[in-house]
Chain A
Amino acid sequence: MSASQKARQQPDEDPIAMLADGINVWIGKLGDIVHTIVDRTPIRHVINWGRIYSLWPVNITTACCSAEFGAASGARHDLERFGVLPLGSLRQSDLMVVEGTVTNKMAKRLKMIYDQMAVPRYVIAMGDCSISGGLFHDSYSIVNGVHEFLPVDVYVPGCPPRPEALEQGIIMLQEKIRSSKVYEHT
């Protein structure tokens, strides 16, 4: 049993713990008030505007759609003009682009990586394989669709999708973020 659990069990005996609990409750209430204010005033638009143009994808490639993701980040299509810069580290990333087939072995790691990312975090399922299994739907070692263990925001179909399709997916995600509430995503 950890120290914090002990403290929670015996609040009456420890005035400091009592005080801390009280402060926590008040901070929680204050937080709720702040959330309401932010979501109902133009501050929401400012925060969302910031999120829209700094969608840094995490460096995880699951299968062959990475070739088209690479082409999309390259010179001609240049995803950076949408604020998508694929050079961030795990903790600073906002976006996970699942590039193709997810095997059973990769699925565990993908979930682990998703859990380590900071909120708000968004998922784009790129390619038929990550949407429904695609060409390999009857294989013995793949997960038929990444939605089975991750909440997907945008699906980009294609085998592989063209860079233009990925760009459209990202614009759709930006539209989604624009109209969403600030503290909705956890």
Chain B
Amino acid sequence: MTTLTNIPSLEREDHILDQLKEKFGDAIKESRISRRSRPEVTIAMEKMLEVSRFLRDELGFDRANGAGGADYLRDQKMEVIYHVSNLTRKETRDIVLSVKEIIPRSSPKVNSLVSIWPSVENFERETYEMYGITFDGHPHLEKLFLIDNWDGPPPLRKDVRIPTD
């Protein structure tokens, strides 16, 4: 009935990941397909801009659905996750590629992708205020929701306990 129960043919997803591996080799640290139309790839943070440009120009991912962070306190790392998809070609619109980069918790700093996908501007601002991750090259990296609302440490970090706990 839904896409979950169909016999999955993962050719398109495999093709995307193969192309990425072929082009960038070592920069692709990890790749997997969690289900039909949900490929996932982890990229070294230095190569992020290059890979994103390739994704947009060559593979047709012309739209960023969202961006967000995740904090792994136990492993002392943080992640920035971008979800990108394609809007122009109708047959591949269902594919949402997760592009991840792992950053050390001690120095959370990555390159901003606003120059590639302008729509991530607000999402990166939110990630900045919620996790304290700095985005280099962001046009105006300032707080979005938390002005006047909260002036403590970045609230979504796992070691931050909110005051009414």
Contact = CB atoms under 8 A, between A and B. Distances in A.
In the complex they form, do A and B come into direct contact, defined as C-beta atoms under 8 angstroms apart? Answer: yes
A137 B148 contact: no
A140 B152 contact: yes
Interface string B136-165: 000000000011111010010000001111
A141 B155 CA distance: 10
B108 to A, nearest CB: 20
B163 A108 contact: no
B165 A104 contact: no
A71 to B, nearest CB: 27
Interface in B45-90: none
B60 to A, nearest CB: 38
Identify the interface centre among A139, A140, A141: most chain B CB within 10 Å of its CB: A140
Nearest to A105: B148
A7 to B, nearest CB: 40
Contacts of A144: 164
Interface residues of B, number: 11
Nearest to B160: A140
Contacts of B163: 140
Contact of B162 (A103, A104, A105, A139): A139
A140 B149 CA distance: 8
Contacts of A103: 149
A140 B162 CA distance: 6
The binding surface of chain B is classed by DSSP as: loop
A138 interface: yes
B134 to A, nearest CB: 21
B150 A108 contact: no
A105 B145 CA distance: 9
A105 B164 CA distance: 18
Identify the interface centre among B147, B162, B164: most chain A CB within 10 Å of its CB: B164
B55 to A, nearest CB: 35
A138 B150 contact: no
Contact of B149 (A137, A138, A141): A141
A137 B164 CA distance: 8
A72 to B, nearest CB: 29
Interface string A122-154: 000000000000000111110010000000000
A152 B146 CA distance: 27
A104 B150 contact: yes
Given A137-B164, A139-B162, 7 more contacts: A105-B147, A105-B149, A140-B149, A140-B150, A140-B163, A140-B164, A141-B150
Interface of B: 146-150, 152, 155, 162-165
A-B CB proximity, top 4 nearest: A105-B148, A141-B149, A140-B162, A105-B149
25 contacts: A103-B149, A104-B148, A104-B149, A104-B150, A105-B147, A105-B148, A105-B149, A108-B148, A137-B164, A138-B162, A138-B164, A138-B165, A139-B162, A139-B164, A140-B149, A140-B150, A140-B152, A140-B155, A140-B162, A140-B163, A140-B164, A141-B146, A141-B149, A141-B150, A144-B164
